[in-house]
Structure 1
Amino acid sequence: MATTTPAGVRGSHAKHGGARQHHPQDDAPMTHRQIMEALSGLLLGMFVAILSSTIVSNALPEIIGDLGGGQSAYTWVVTAALLSMTASTPLWGKLSDLFSKKALVQISLVVYVAGSVVAGLSQNPEMLIACRVVQGIGVGGLSALAQIVMAAMISPRERGRYSGYLGATFAVATVGGPLLGGVITDTSWLGWRWCFYVGVPFAVIALIVLQRTLHLPVVKRDVKVDWGGAFFITAAVCLLLVWVTFAGDKYDWLSVQTYAMVGGAVLLALLFLLVESKAREPIIPLRLFRNPTITLASLSSLFVGVAMFAGTVYFSQYFQLARGKSPTMSGVMTIPMIGGLFLSSTVAGQVITKTGRWKAWLLAGGVLVTAGLGLLGTMRYDTEYWRLSLYMGLLGLGVGMMMQNLVLCTQNQVAPSDLGAASSVVTFFRSLGGAMGVSALGALMAHRIPDYVKDGLTDLGPEGAKLAAQADRGHGAIPDLDAMPAPLRQIMESAYGHGIADVFLYAAPMGLLALIAVVFIKEVPLRTAAGLQQAAAASEPANAPAADPLGGARLPAETDAVSEEATTPLLVTGEAAGQPDGVLITGHVRGAEHAPVAGGAVTLTSLAGRQAGRAFTGPDGSYKLTAPGPGTYVLIAAAGRYQPQAATVVVAGEPVTYDLLLSGTSGLAGLVRDAGTGTPVKAAMVVVTDVRGDVLATATTSELGGFLFGDLVPGPVTLAVNAAGHRPHARPVEVGTTGVTRIEVELSPGAEVQGTVHAGGRPLTDARITLVDAAGNVVALATTGADGAYAFTDLDAGEYTVIATGYPPAATALTVTGSDAVGHDIELAHPAE
């Protein structure tokens, strides 16, 4: 039977399992600097992943020619990496929900490095294709885990900004890869093999940086990896891609082989669905597709993958074989598309973070992708480059708007426990679309180019017949344009230009289908809590108000026992069938150090607040109750001196096990004194906030300057105190795990300077007043209002200079003592006086 453990329980598990303990600050929102430090190694790893996919694009014609391969080998060098990346993506995503995300990122980097080193030693196309499979497995992990780690650290509302950085990294690697690959290929003392070696140093650096900067809580659970599901989905995709690649070449589209392969792929897909429906930890939880947003985003991502990978793969062939450019120049000439991708992904991310709205970007992206692909379908070998630049720019803008935001809108819809699986599902379909698109469109191009060559030779008449024999000798291989006579070269360039244009023309309907899918996605405002915060929210109850025995009146904290994010559904299914009179829910209630909580009350309610069941924990902390039937329920646990906990459980017709952790409460008491005299400060406002900045409690000090808060969860808080005639004070406080934590706060006196600025006997508006201390430092600035008044507060005792400007400036000396309010009027002379 599967067990889901709330965030707080995970900390106890981690302690006993040797992993890092869970602390309250682990769930605090990270600062921009912390996020960028954590993302540094992640973005570098992502850069390596994309670089490996694009660096060979401009070198492939020469690589395949050197290894003795043809158009089929060209296609499969790309498809093999996409295929293994596609098949492994869901597995990486599921593993990230079960094991250390950091360790998985590092493992995927190691796999990538191993594949790259051996790929550079390839002696034939088959060996290269096998190595590309290994590379694809590593790249699949990096692609999926980058989104998953970001989702764990950053809220959906803020994630658009950082997704822009990810898109920018994608763009830089995409444009840098072909350029670097072209330069390496054109450099005689390096050669194309260095296209595979050059990413290795970046991967090693990424490993080191990740070890130092990426710190995420480690989740330890009793898991069972769905290897059966991984096998069947890989086999189904492989068989489908093999059929698409060879159909129309090795055999007819309608043939025995087609029926066998398509039928086999369908059968394997059905077996995959059967295995997933019964798996304890499915690689792709089928229940995710009950959410229409996830279904539509996955479908749209499938079609976007066709456009994205078709552009990066076939542009290099177009510029080298249709326009006769070098590998380096072919990389330079694709910059408009990458520039558009860079611009749109960065700008869209920043705007989405500010507004929280994302659907308009997806719609605009779908329109631009469709338009860009359609216009590229009209190109020929001699089309003006400025036209191509415009068409490529439109395609890049569209892909940049859609690629990251499809993942974003999906992550915004799921529970923290499903972030990895949901993210990898969308990435999986994008990779699947790319793999199928490259295979199918490559097969189409390989079929159409010979036809265009024959048409060109026929148009030449008798001379064409002589050249036909020379063209046939190179049939199926990547042509060497420099070795061809001018007439045959022009025919080849025209054939490749027209054939590759057909690739984009046939891809255009895919862009339209992506747009149609996006139209039906319902826009949901982005959450403001990150994945780790959402997971922790289920075990963080609201603090009840308490009285201050020293005379302070404490106000209740403005929190709900069950917030929207704290009740994100956590679906857990067991192996046994549901009970005929209801669905059994069992588990344990534990306290500190994993100790059982006996005699606690566990209540099950519907979302409407009606009680559906109730039980009390036994000596071992266990409980057992029955839900009336499948549905979504709120599970509430409370006991004695412990803080209550509320969590949402989705019951799917099978027994559910859910453990809850109750936190003990502690107190915080203190005394507020005047720093100068040591006397108590009464009626001072004391505010306690948590590490997120949420107010936990407020109180005013008694006649004796005392305050007391009860029922605080142990951990770090911020204490802020302010009082009339004193400067505000704030300090961090660690609330102990037991008893009352006692502190003293000293408030420094804060003097006030106020006055009015006159000119000619009338108040002077918009006069600028500058306060300078004895050391010449500007302490404060003010501007007078319509009544000419100004004021400076919270000042230390000492000598100051007040400078007023607006008319000819006037400077006067001022002495401030104690906490008194000092009056200081200023008269400015008119320039004519």
Structure 2
Amino acid sequence: MTQTAPASVDAESASPPRFTHREIMVTMSGLVIAMLLAMLDNMIVAPALPTIVGDLGGLKHLAWVTTGYILASTAATPIWGKLGDLLGRRITFLSSIAIFLIGSALCGMSQNMGELIGFRALQGLGAGGLMVGVMATMADIVPPRDRSKYQGVMMAVMPVAMIGGPLAGGFITDHLNWRWAFYVNLPLGIIALLVCWFVLAKLPRNTSGKVRIDWTGAALLTVWITTLVLITSWGGTEYAWGSATIIGLAVVTVVAFAAFVMVERRAAEPIMPLSVFADRNFSLAGALSFVVGFAMFGGMTLLPQFQQYVQGSSATNSGLLLMPMMIAAMVLSLGGGVLTSRTGRYRALPIAGSVLMAVGLGLFATMGPDTSRTLTSLYMVILGAGMGCLMQTTMLIAQNSAPLRDLGAATGATTFLRNMGGSLGVSVLGALYTSTLSDSFTSAAGGSAGAANSGTLAQMTPEALRGLPETVRHAFAQAVTDGIGAAFVWAAGAAAVGIVIALFIRHVPLRGFTSGSSTDNAPVAAVSTAKTTG
């Protein structure tokens, strides 16, 4: 089941090395580039997909270009986190960057859809280690008390990726060649490799060469994550929810998950240590991360639909119109990080963030065909403020609640929960949106919908919509509004559950790095012996 060779960790891992502010900023330069790689990839590739399919053929396999990437990255995230704990953060982080770059180069050289899907999966395997590697490395070099202000700085990468990605992808597709949507990763990745090779040399590492690797747990984790993602990706689209395929996948998911829990409880070095979930704050932070992923990513995916179909924005402009949300998220993340660093208090942030996110999503549910872009931008600011309060705080709480020896696994588990929440949110809210849109359009347009509803509704584009009669355009805009409203009501409900979860989080003093402290393997190292407060 597992290798039983005794694990021996470098003595310096018992007490994290001290980094100066200059060393932290130099290290962050490499981490920021790696984070940019992870966030930019799908943003750049998305505008190129129609051209890619036209060049390589195989329209029916289009979904697998994305699904293969998501499957591999989601399954790999907790595994990379645990390997970082066992082998050292530097070697695993550099390996994930290298695999991502190899996958990117091979994707650009693909000659058919089968090759592209396989190479996207390889790329996703590396991508799974990028984000967890960034967060876990940050946790290695900066104590929780100061970590929030540095993580807040890294939030600036998000608006660059969200806005710059689609613009770069469109430019590459229009003026170069779709293959450069993948090749563009190479120069950035090589810079990240070189920087991280030198600046991460000080990180703790295993010097014995002996580790216990939970291969059985890793295999079972991959199985139940894969089948669960397939359920959320295929259910209601490729297959009916009650079909034998979906039911079979559900059975496999439940059986594999139960077996995974049994194996992890007995493994010497489990891929996902269940002991970390015994800490109340860790479990609550993980649950809140799942809810945030569900409500935020599910809701954000639908906003461009309203902007393009109802407000008449172009695809490029709809990306630019997300700026108020991204800027608000960045400002609140930076401000919250500074506040947490100065005061050591953070409990108010997840509560305020959950409230703001619920309010913002609820306001989106009230939008109608006449809602102005100015009002939509105001709603985005509220939602972005909630995101800024939540995204780094949930990770900070989770990392502060886990023993240092399991820091990578804990980071991977929290990132995994957020990704799974996002996957389920996109699937469930997307299915609700599509169903409501179809019913509303058929009911509102009546007989005039015949031309549009006969085999073309599922392939409707903003450009095609502009060529239809006024009555059909009005009916479709109303149907999109109804679908958006229904989806955001559920998203707001999920965010409201997040408020309840956040209220149960207790304030636990943020630990610092104490030289030679043997308590660093405890859930909360002793920089403060103050009792927790509710």
Q: Contact conserved, 2:138 with 2:147, CA < 8 A, in 1? A: yes
Q: How does 1:500-649 map to 2 (within 5 A)?
A: 500-529=484-513, 536-538=516-518, 565=519, 568=522
Residue equivalent to 2:404: 416
Q: How does 1:773-788 map to 2 (within 5 A)?
A: none
Shift of 1:160: 1.0
Distance 2:487 2:51 in 1: 21
Count of residue pairs brought into register by the alignment: 517
Shift of 1:265: 1.1
Q: Does 1:225 align with 2:179?
A: no
Q: Does 1:392 align with 2:380?
A: yes
* 1:242-298 Cα distance to aligned partner (Å, 9 max, x none): 223333345543454443332221111101111212222110011111111111111
Q: Contact conserved, 1:58 with 1:316, CA < 8 A, in 2? A: no
Aligned residue identity for 1:197: Y
Shift of 1:508: 1.7
Write 1 or 2 for the structure with the bigger share of strand. Answer: 1
Change (3 A) 1:249 1:432: closer
**Counterpart secondary structure, 1:412:** helix
Residue equivalent to 1:38: 27
Aligned residue identity for 1:267: V
Residue equivalent to 2:267: 279
**Counterpart secondary structure, 1:97:** helix
Change (3 A) 1:457 1:119: farther
The equivalent position to 1:407 in structure 2, one of 395, 408, 421, is: 395
Residue equivalent to 2:528: none
Q: How does 1:342-381 map to 2 (within 5 A)?
A: 342-381=330-369
Distance 1:454 1:142 in 2: 45
Change (3 A) 1:302 1:569: closer
Aligned residue identity for 1:383: T
The equivalent position to 2:40 in structure 1, one of 27, 38, 51, is: 51
The equivalent position to 2:459 in structure 1, one of 458, 472, 477, is: 477
TM-score, structure 1 as length reference:
0.57
Shift of 1:141: 0.5
Shift of 1:27: 5.0
Shift of 1:193: 4.4
Distance 1:192 1:314 in 2: 25
Aligned residue identity for 1:211: W
* 1:62-84 Cα distance to aligned partner (Å, 9 max, x none): 767887788x9776655543332
Residue equivalent to 1:194: 180
Q: How does 1:252-267 map to 2 (within 5 A)?
A: 252-267=240-255
Distance 1:171 1:99 in 2: 33
Bigger CA radius of gyration? 1
**Counterpart secondary structure, 1:343:** helix
Over the aligned positions, Cα root-mean-square deviation in angstroms equals: 3.0
Distance 1:209 1:114 in 2: 18
* 1:695-740 Cα distance to aligned partner (Å, 9 max, x none): xxxxxxxxxxxxxxxxxxxxxxxxxxxxxxxxxxxxxxxxxxxxxx
Aligned residue identity for 1:217: P
Q: Contact conserved, 1:75 with 1:439, CA < 8 A, in 2? A: no
Aligned residue identity for 1:473: G
Change (3 A) 1:333 1:485: same
Shift of 1:55: 2.9
Distance 2:206 2:183 in 1: 35
Residue equivalent to 1:103: 91
Q: Contact conserved, 2:86 with 2:211, CA < 8 A, in 1? A: yes
Distance 2:48 2:258 in 1: 39
Distance 2:351 2:343 in 1: 16
Distance 1:366 1:267 in 2: 33
Shift of 1:436: 1.8
Unaligned runs of 5+ in 2: 525-534
Q: How does 1:431-442 map to 2 (within 5 A)?
A: 431-442=419-430
Distance 2:492 2:49 in 1: 25
Distance 1:569 1:352 in 2: 19
Shift of 1:314: 3.1
Distance 1:265 1:68 in 2: 32
**Counterpart secondary structure, 2:522:** coil
**Counterpart secondary structure, 1:473:** coil
Shift of 1:499: 2.6
Distance 2:297 2:278 in 1: 29
* 1:291-324 Cα distance to aligned partner (Å, 9 max, x none): 1111111111111112332244333444334444
Aligned residue identity for 1:495: A
**Counterpart secondary structure, 2:86:** coil
Change (3 A) 1:451 1:65: farther
Shift of 1:169: 2.2
Q: Contact conserved, 2:72 with 2:121, CA < 8 A, in 1? A: yes
Q: How does 1:783-794 map to 2 (within 5 A)?
A: none
Unaligned runs of 5+ in 1: 12-25, 539-564, 571-833
Q: Contact conserved, 1:57 with 1:313, CA < 8 A, in 2? A: no
Aligned residue identity for 1:194: W
* 1:752-782 Cα distance to aligned partner (Å, 9 max, x none): xxxxxxxxxxxxxxxxxxxxxxxxxxxxxxx
Shift of 1:204: 1.5
Q: Contact conserved, 1:321 with 1:481, CA < 8 A, in 2? A: no
Q: Does 1:332 align with 2:320?
A: yes
Q: Contact conserved, 2:10 with 2:205, CA < 8 A, in 1? A: no
Residue equivalent to 1:8: 11
